[in-house]
Amino acid sequence: MLKLQPKKQKKPKRQKLPKLAILGIDEVGRGPWAGPLVVGACVLGDVQIEGLTDSKKLSSKKREALAPIIQEKAAVGLGWVSAKELDEIGMTAALCKACREAVKQIHVPFHEIIIDGTINFLRDTPLASHVQVLTKADLLVPEVSAASIVAKVARDNYMYKLAEKYPGYGFEKHVGYGTAAHRKALEELGVCPEHRKSFRPIAEMLGIASAKKNPKSTKAKGNRGETAVCNYLVESGHEIVARNWKNKFCEIDIISKFNGVLCFTEVKYRRAGAGLDAIDKKKLEKMRFAAEFYLTQNGGGAAILAAAEVSGDNYKVTDFLVLQ
């Protein structure tokens, strides 16, 4: 009688565990006086890219060479917050918003999130518990390095285009950061729409900082009124050339430039309105003299006179009138 031999059981194949995928996050543009804030997010997975390190330690040429490789081989997301929105919501809220927008663009699985720095910008989200914050992560973690490189190149390219739109500020060199050349350009050209009004020296130039120290003083009220008009002009496409320009003979509240024409604006604040009633014939003559004096000293050119009315406790621009 034949005995049946039991079949040898095959050893089960060892399953390869998937590599733990890290989502690296880093921000670029927290400190500049102008331009957007950008947050980069990146998952490399099994991809290995030579030369990844902190973007600040790389030359611009090396960053520009690495960025397209990262974009092609890795999963990348970018979150943007404009200078105007940053002024409105504040830096912390801007970082959280940009970070969340960048993460939404990542459509591959990941097991851990590493954010460069000390703050979890994904707090109060379902991903909060997966986050590890790490100082110098952009130097130590390849995914964070890749995120910082892509964000840096994207923001720099934006600032290069901005240099063409607003020539003279040197955005192509300092990309919005506070350098001596940038400060000098601000003194000569005034503030453009891409400047962060909540940052010094922009706030000081617009009179915001001095107004905050004593908001009830007459001077502070005047500063806040002029600041409101400056913001109105910038949003309307003007470049602020000078504010509170004066000499021993005359003074001008705001000098701006629009389509090559200088605009000399007198600001009138009235708690209940009717501020432009103060622009009588005598005041108009003084404004005209001040404008002609400025043009004589600064090479002439086309010019107009204007008056702006600011009303109420919220310092709202309620009227803007071209006088000639």
Per-residue pLDDT tens over the stretch 22-50: 999 999 999 999 999 999 999 999 999 99
Residues 231 and 124 in one domain: no
Measured between alpha carbons, how far is 125 from 286 in angstroms, rounded to an integer?
A: 59
Residue 290 belongs to a domain: yes
Q: Where a domain ends, among 111, 136, 165?
A: 165
Judgement on whether residues 29 and 107 belong to the same structural domain of the protein: yes
Q: Are residues 26 and 151 in the same domain?
A: yes
Position 229 pLDDT exceeds 50: yes
Verify that 37 and 145 share a domain, yes or no. yes
Q: Which two tokens stand for residue 133?
A: 């914050």
Is 186 in a helix, a strand, or coil? helix
Q: Is residue 192 part of a domain?
A: no
Residue 222, in any domain of the structure: yes
Residues 129 and 213 in one domain: no
Q: Is residue 160 part of a domain?
A: yes
Q: Is residue 170 part of a domain?
A: no
Does residue 138 share a domain with residue 65? Answer: yes
DSSP conformational letter for 260: T
148 pLDDT above the threshold of 50: yes
pLDDT for the residue numbered 6: 52
* Structure confidence at residue 28 (pLDDT): 97
Dump pLDDT digits (tens) for 230-244.
Answer: 888 888 888 888 888
What digits encode the pLDDT tens for the residues 191-226? 898 999 888 778 887 765 544 555 555 555 667 788
Q: Is 132 helix (H, G, I), strand (E, B) or coil?
A: strand
* pLDDT for position 211: 47
The total number of structural domains that make up the chain: 2
| Domain at 313, CATH number | 3.40.1350.10
For the chain, the average pLDDT equals 86
**Residue type at position 35:** G
Range of the domain at 112: 22-165
In this structure, are 149 and 211 located in the same domain? no
Give me the CATH number covering residue 102.
Answer: 3.30.420.10
Q: Are residues 147 and 220 in the same domain?
A: no
Whether 188 is covered by a domain: the verdict is no
Cα–Cα distance, 37 to 27 (Å, whole number): 7
Q: Is residue 183 part of a domain?
A: no
Co-location of 256 and 129 in the same domain: no
**Average pLDDT estimate for 51-71:** 95
Query: For residues 305-323, b (16+ Cβ closer than 10 Å) or e, as one string?
Result: bbbbbbbeeebebbebeeb
Q: From 150, 165, 180, give the residue that closes a domain.
A: 165
Residue 213 lies in a domain: yes
Among 165, 185, 220, the domain-final residue is 165
Which pLDDT belongs to residue 121?
93
Whether 155 and 48 map to the same domain: the answer is yes
Do residues 37 and 159 share a domain? yes
Together in a domain, 87 and 219: no
How far apart CA 232 and CA 72 sit, in angstroms, is 42
Query: Would you say residue 15 has pLDDT above 70?
Result: no
CA distance 215 to 304: 31
Handedness of CA 169, 174, 178, 184 (dihedral sign): negative
Residue 209 pLDDT: 54
